[in-house]
Structure 1
Amino acid sequence: MIKNLPKLKTIYGKNKDIAFVDPWAFWNLPKLEEINLSYNYIKGIDYGSFSKLSSVQTLDLSWNEIEYIGQGSFQGMTSLKRLDLSRNYLNRFDATYYFSLTNSDTSLALEELNLSHNKLKLVVNLNSFLRLHVIDLSHNELSYINWTSNIRTSQWLTNLDLSDNYFSVFDLDLSNVYIDKLRIPFNDLYHPDAINVVARINVVVLDGNLWQCEAYTQLLEKFLKMQTTILDYEEDDDIYFLTKFERENYPTCFFSTDSFSPHRSILLLESTYKTRKNPRCRTKNQCPKDMFCKSGRCWKGCEQNICDETAVCVSDSHGFYCHCPRGKIPNPFVTETRCYNVQCFADDDCRKFGNICNEKTHKCEENVK
């Protein structure tokens, strides 16, 4: 339990083998602004785990094994701006239930919500967050969303990401809604009539669905009439990739009519449907040795920026660890992965020399008795 620390601003518990967060674990921390408990083994969030933390602005619970969130677990987090629950095992997200909201609640500050890489089939009541403008629902199992319960009239979204789901029909029939970037690649869309969009959209990413040339042509015409830019997924900052060989050998549809930009092309992705950089897995043995299994996918740990810039990330048999280079050591009394250019933090660092550690100078000195 962490309590009664009036000046504490950050709790950094990243990659610390944490399996459980005790209800009321954080108490009387009036200056706390950030909690990072990513890359752990937390399986659920119970009522009261983060309640009443009214000063916290960032909560990162990504890369865990969370299957459930109890009612009111985030109640009272009125300053929360960024909530990251990506790469867990959630199958539903109900904002009203988790935040114990009422119709009169208008004080929530949430701006960015990351629910990617879960098993979501249901998302409701996101319209309770009046300032929400970044929503990442990619890599889930969504086939339908009731937009009236998730997007408010006159709402402005900078990014709505629905990549890699199971949408065969996409109906965003909401006027007076502006979306700067809508991403719906790698779904089950194949016919232009399956997409009905009334909202104003600046940029849309469509590739990776089951388009045929004729259908895609009709879809381009539809979005171009709306003055929407169509962005190919390989141009986007996505994790999807195709090798040079694949790009040169998969069938391609070319457009050069007056309606479209010259030399525009789109890969016919029936054969590349749902191409992924991170294959599915259930156990670590289904992944290459330099990758680990988390949230149903294989990942390279040393590509996830887990270690501090002063440390070296080392892949180790379906896992990874942060290692200090020669001449530097970690501080065992803090949870961060930073390495320091000192001789010692504790007597154990000096024991091989038969010395003790001077806690002020962090140098090993003779043990004078």
Structure 2
Amino acid sequence: IRTRGGANILHKLFEPLGYLVGATSIPLDEKFADWGASPYFRLTLDARTTVHDVLSHLYVLLPVLDDEKHYYIGDAEVDKLLRRGEGWLGSHPHRELIVQRYLKRKPSLIDRALTRLLDEENAAVDAGESKTEQAAFAEKDLERPMTLHTQRLNQVATRLKSLEAKSILDLGCGEGKLLRRLLADRTFERIVGMDVSHRSLEVAASRLRLDRLPERQRKRIELMQGSLLYRDKRLDNFDAAALVEVIEHLDPPRLLALERVLFEFARPRHIIITTPNQEYNLLFPTLPPGRMRHNDHRFEWTRPEFSAWAEKTAARFGYHVAFEPVGPVDPQHGAPSQMAVFSLPVGGAE
């Protein structure tokens, strides 16, 4: 087979797939050894596997080894690569090299393929979360039957896009589930996740596969440790900020500090804040009356309480505010979560 990169690349590509690789260089002409080696190798592969898997591997890797395609490369090739690479390409240690060569180093197609691989990998991580981890998050367990957590994240991401924001702060980003959604949408050009917990940031970096992202993707996202209670110039000059189920973890007297840090100093054009609707707690059958959804919650507001705080804060700092329900709406108790969208009037940013 024709191989660009020598025997080394044959071992790099096939051995992670479980093959015992034999590669022998073929000279340009056996009668004239001084002419040197040809780009061809005699390749033997030894493995106990299925014919289907072998054919899938060869379908993708033979053109990668040749590193030349003599026909048009477009979106259909991305679909073909991911279809043939299903089940193995996403976990291959040299997947970036494979994708780059297969797609003839076309940046837009490479970016699209690697992003889709990342999405599939993260979905598998989520699906495989252990029962122990799930039990550690009582609030998510409570809300899981309604997939409220997913609805909330999707709604925030959609709202950010509708605001035409290009640079986004995810404040209290936790393990990066909103960041993942934002990273998958190239509308968002700069994404920064901040959390006070170093451990949460480590988990976010792992789940986002930051060490394996293509360079163009990696430049779009940054994780940083910090507190919402202290002024931080790193938060300046962003189009929008999102605080998803964050404020209820603060002691109420500390909200004043957060308000100044966020609305007075950082002052993004748009701010999205979600928080539980305390009125809805009566509809959770496993939640005892009077209990909050999470042991770490310092408060949970009713709709009038959240509205009063948001409207007062907006008026104080020169923002407009609008409200949206998050999740299924009960006629009496409202939605399980509530969202406030703060926006500066045109020309209102400092």
Is TM > 0.5 for Structure 1 vs Structure 2? no
Higher helix share: 2
The bucket for the TM-score relative to the shorter chain is 0.3 to 0.5
Q: Bigger relative contact order, structure 1 or 2, given CA contacts below 8 A and separation 6+?
A: 2
TM-score, with structure 1 as normaliser: 0.31
Higher strand share: 1
